[in-house]
Every structure is written in structure tokens, then in C-alpha cells.
Chains A and B, each alone.
Chain A
Amino acid sequence: MSSVRPAEAWVGFVTTVRKEVVRILRIWAQTILPPVITTTLYFIIFGPILGDRIGQMEGVTYLQYVTPGLIMMAVITNSYQNVVSSFFGAKFQSHVEEMLVSPMPDSAILFGYAIGGVFRGLLVGLMVSLTSLFFAALPVAHPMLTIAVAVLTSVAFSFGGFINALLARNFDDVAIVPTFVLTPLTMLGGVFYSVSLLPEPWRSVSFANPILYMVNAFRYGILGDSDIAIGLSLLILSGFIVLFYVAALLLLKRGTGLRA
């Protein structure tokens, strides 16, 4: 029987969140600025340079069509990247032991880092959204749904980043998933095109990509239009949150990558 005290666990969780937020803001030139600049370049390319030549897609301008996907891409990448780099850094420098020797429950450690990832993901998402207003009008058809999808997606990928950090043994392992899995899945997840335009079998293959559901749910929240039923998207999103959370917690409890 373990004598976890809820109030003690809560303070530990808040401390971890505070530490993460301070870190993100302290190194803002690494955490906030680059994704905003990168996405601005996308806006310039797909707006004034290419957008007018492509014309309309699903009844809106091409830039309006890709903007929700670009925002979601920033949210996914930054949520994931924040947790994986911060927690692996703590492992690498061994200061993760500060938490491991304390009475903080594993769930408080996990949620503390995840909320840090959500903070960065949503902050970058907000900055990108504000930047996009200089290039395209965003009607935001379903505001609550838009926020909910952004938050849930950010939570899912923060947990995902935590798993990556636990399993990573070196800095190569930290870069492999974002580079070879996350970026291709995001690029092919309907950010730049509608899956309805794809020929078979690529159209069917695309439905195996979980990021497709997240991008389309977010697009539905902003533009009111989606390739996929919103209920299914939310269901899949929730499923990934549960899956990643359980996996991360089990690995943490086993001490994978942390305890000898």
C-alpha cells in the first residue's frame, strides 16, 4: 500500500508545470519563435506566391484551406517536441532523479510534463493562428470544438513525446520519431490537400493515418467542413490519448529508461 497524499501530489504536479513553463519561456528563441517563422513562410508560399494559382479548394481559398492544417501541424510538432526534449534532457543530465527520489506519484510527473507540452503546443498554435490572420480570414465556425480538438491533440502528442523520451537512449532516438514518423504523417495527413482528391488505394491508405482525423476535426472547427465525420475523429483522438497515457504510465511505473 502506498501512502500517496493528494495535496502533496498536486503541489508536485504544479511544480513540474511551473518548471516547464519557465523553461519554455526562458528559451523562447528556441521554443516559440522558430515554428512561428516556419509557418509564416508556409503562409507566404501558399498565399501570395502559389495560392492564387491553385485556386479554391472545398469552397474556400487554398490558403484558408491549408491554414487549419498548418496550425495543427505546429501544435502537434511542438507538443511532442517539448516533452521529448525536456524529459530526455532531464534523463541525460540525470536531474530526473530529483523527481524519482521524491514522493511524487508517477502520474503527477507524467501530467506535469504533458501539461508543459500542451502549454507550448497551444502557445505556438495561438501565435501561428494570429500570424495567419495577416494572410487569410479564419471564420472559426465552431469555436469550442476548435479549442477542444487543439487541446486534445496536444495532450495526445505530449503523452507520445513522453513515451519517446522514456525509450530514447541517445539524441538520435529523440530525433527519429519526429523526423521519420511525425513529419511524414502530418504532411500526408491532409494538411495540404483533401483526401477526397486522392486516387485509390492512396485514399484508403490515408485513413490509416491518425493525424488525418485530427487535422480534419480541427478544419471542421474552423471552416465548418471536413472529409471525415467529426464524431469518428473525436473518438480516434480520445482513443490515442488513452493509449498513449496508459503506455507512458506503465513504462514510467516499470522505470523503463530510468531505474536500473
Chain B
Amino acid sequence: MPSAMSTSRASATQPAAPGPGAVPEAAEAPALEIRGLAKTYQRKGSAEKVEALKGIDLEVREGEFYGLLGPNGAGKSTCIGIVTTLVRKSAGKVRVFGVDLDTDPTALKRLIGLVPQEMNFNQFEKPLQIVAQQAGYYGIPWKLAKDRALECLDLMGLLGKKDQVSRSLSGGMKRRLMIARALVHQPRLLILDEPTAGVDIELRRATWELLEKVNRQGTTIILTTHYLEEAEALCRRIAIIDHGLIVENTDTRTLLAKLATETFVLDLATSVAEAPRLDGFRCRLRSDGSLEVDVERGQTLNALFDQLGGRGHQVVSMRNKANRLEELFVRMTEESRRAAGGQDDTAPPLAEGASEGDSPS
């Protein structure tokens, strides 16, 4: 983030006489603390009730980059909606940096920046106006609001588009505009609900770098995403939510260690007519001439390469067949579904765009 923003953010955490948009410091409190959070919706036009959240507990520590994963309809957006006050909870407690949602929602709102899943800005307004207005809603006077808006637009690479009607921006630019808008009041907790949906891979990577930068500067980030490689690349801790319950909540490394088998795709220097027989490894020949090898937990890649080398095969490149987290995610949500009695009213949990062989190792 530009130095000016960093400076004013630092001053915003001073306990005495906080400036516009500043928030109080609550020492040692988690960035987000959720206890027994439940939400029951009444289905329109019927007496039927739907439990979107069934009493979940969650804790996100300050400074974390936290992933909230789940299939469509799992309860992720409801959870975010409650934290950001857009959805009213049925039961439970929500605290952000120690500020209780029930007792002081206004103070809680000052601490959060939200990048929603859907485009929710006025398409007829210009980026500078949209971002500066958002700062104004947080009590930042107009001149300072405009300065901060320009900084945030610059950070997102949108400075050249500041006076262009936002409707004419590309999809990726619109997503970045929403991130700029969420950052303008310098929130301590940034919540992103699928921020890179529909964004091309180059722009997605650029957004990742940017979010990591924001996180390094002290902003706690909660990310929901369908791109599981995104969660694996960015998030240090991950919760998987399904059918309104948290089915897993741990650090990414521990989560990935639960994966019993990984499948790798190996490209060989010279093509082979059939898959070689390898001791201890299941190996298959793919239609493009590459090999697909299952590696169990405890087996090493060195052992695999030794065997291939011994048979005269040179490996020129390798990659995961599927994203590792995706394999775990599918397994866990399937287990959760079985535990819920086999009900399945959600879309398949596979990541959009994460097709076979597309995920880099």
C-alpha cells in the first residue's frame, strides 16, 4: 500500500484522538470470533425453515490470511453477511477485534472492509466517485476521501480509469474497483467473498500479490473462494463449511497433510507406448503420452524418479493432476454430506475453472 496510507493507518490505531475512519484498538482480541452462530431462513411462500448456519464456532487471529471454503449454499455468504450486518443472525455471538455485534454494531462496522461476491456499485458512477463516496460513508471528509480514493485506485492499477463510467470497465477492473472501495477506510479486517471469480489467471495472480501485500501490512484477511489453488496459495489457515457446519478448521499445512494420495502428471523426454511398471507406485499412461502416477503419503518423489531414471525415462516436467486442497475438499464435503443423511441440494463442489491438470504443483 502507498506509504501515505500506511502512515495514516498506523496513526489510526493510536488510542488517543483517532482520526477520521480510525478504529479503536482492542489488544489481544481475535480479529473475528464467532460462537454458536446460527441462521434460520423461512423459505418464501411456505412454512418450511432452512438452517443456513447450525451454530458454528470460528476464530481468526489478527494478521491472518484465512480461507473459508465450502460448496455453493454451504453457508459462507450467510456467515459473511452476518458479520458485516447485512444478514440478521438467529443466534450466537460475533465479535470483531473484541467489539460485539450486538452491543456496538457501528464500531464493528468501522473495523471491516467488504468485497462482496456480486458487483454492487453504481454502474453509472465513476471509480473515483464510488471509492471517495465509500470513504465519506465512513466519516472521512471529502478532500481526504478523494486523496485516499486516488491512492487506492492507484494501488489497484485503476488510476487511469478513475473518470471512466464504471459500467464500461472490464470484469477484472470491476473486481479491483471493489477491492479499492473496501480498502479506502483502512479496515483492520478485510473480507473478500470470491474476489477473483471470473477473473483471468494473470489478473488473478496480480490480485493475489496485492492481497498478500495488504496482509503483510497488517490487515487481517478472510477469503472465500471456489478456486482452491487460491486458498492453498494464500491462506495460512482454512475452514471448510458445509451444510451450515464447520467440517474442518485448521492450518493449511495440517490440512494438506491429511491427504493420503496425490496424483502427479509427468511429462517425459521421449514418449512411451505403455506405462512402465514401478514398484510401489500406480502408474498410468495418458492419452497425450504423459504419465499419471499416484504417490501415497510416506512415499518420496526421489524414489519415483530413481525408478523412472533406472528404466531410461527422463522427466522434463511435472505437476499435480488436481489441486491438493481440492481433493481434500471434495472428500470432506462428501463425508459431511453422508453424515447429513445423504442430502445433496448443492452444486458439485469442484472448483470452477480448476480442471484436470490445470493446477501448477
A101 and B136 within 8 A (CB): no
B139 and A19 within 8 A (CB): no
- Which stretch of A4-12, A66-74, A149-157 is in the interface? A4-12
- Which stretch of B9-17, B116-124, B213-221, B277-285 is in the interface? B116-124
A227 vs B84: C-alpha distance in the bound complex, in angstroms? 53
Q: Which residues of B contact A103 (CB under 8 A)?
A: 106-107, 109-110, 137-139
- Select from chain A the residue with minimum beta-carbon distance to B23: A103
- Select from chain A the residue with minimum beta-carbon distance to B185: A102
Asked if B81 is an interface residue, CB under 8 A from chain A, the answer is yes
Q: Which residues of B contact A3 (CB under 8 A)?
A: 104, 106-107
A94 and B87 within 8 A (CB): no
A93 and B123 within 8 A (CB): yes
Asked if B85 is an interface residue, CB under 8 A from chain A, the answer is yes
Q: Which residues of B contact A203 (CB under 8 A)?
A: none
Asked if B20 is an interface residue, CB under 8 A from chain A, the answer is yes
Please pick, from A2, A12, A15, A104, the residue contacting B104 in the complex, using a CB distance under 8 A: A2
B88 and A259 within 8 A (CB): yes
Asked if A90 is an interface residue, CB under 8 A from chain B, the answer is yes
Asked if B321 is an interface residue, CB under 8 A from chain A, the answer is no
Q: Which residues of B contact A260 (CB under 8 A)?
A: 41, 78, 81, 86-88
Asked if A14 is an interface residue, CB under 8 A from chain B, the answer is yes
Asked if A98 is an interface residue, CB under 8 A from chain B, the answer is yes
**Nearest Cβ on chain A to B168's Cβ, whole angstroms:** 15
A99 and B137 within 8 A (CB): yes
B139 and A2 within 8 A (CB): no
Asked if A97 is an interface residue, CB under 8 A from chain B, the answer is yes
A98 and B134 within 8 A (CB): yes
B86 and A15 within 8 A (CB): no
Asked if A142 is an interface residue, CB under 8 A from chain B, the answer is no
A9 and B104 within 8 A (CB): no
B85 and A98 within 8 A (CB): no
- Known interface pairs A2-B105, A93-B122. Does A8 touch B87 (Cβ–Cβ under 8 Å)? no
- Known interface pairs A98-B133, A98-B134. Does A259 touch B104 (Cβ–Cβ under 8 Å)? no
Interface residues as binary, A8-39 with B (CB distance below 8 Å gives 1, 0 otherwise): 11011011101100100010000000000000
- Select from chain B the residue with minimum beta-carbon distance to A100: B86
Asked if A197 is an interface residue, CB under 8 A from chain B, the answer is no
Interface residues as binary, A245-260 with B (CB distance below 8 Å gives 1, 0 otherwise): 0000000000100011
Q: Which residues of A contact B88 (CB under 8 A)?
A: 255, 259-260
User: What are 16 A-B residue pairs whose CB atoms fall within 8 Å in the complex?
Assistant: A8-B20, A9-B139, A11-B139, A11-B141, A12-B136, A12-B138, A14-B136, A93-B120, A93-B123, A94-B119, A97-B86, A102-B134, A103-B109, A104-B137, A259-B86, A259-B88
Residues of B near any A CB (own CB < 8 A): 20, 41, 78, 81, 84-88, 103-107, 109-110, 112, 114, 116, 118-124, 129, 133-134, 136-142, 145, 181, 185
Q: What 10 pairs across the A-B complex have the smallest Cβ distances?
A: A8-B139, A15-B136, A102-B137, A94-B120, A260-B87, A103-B109, A103-B106, A3-B107, A11-B139, A2-B106
Residues of A near any B CB (own CB < 8 A): 1-5, 7-9, 11-12, 14-16, 18-19, 22, 26, 90, 93-95, 97-105, 255, 259-260
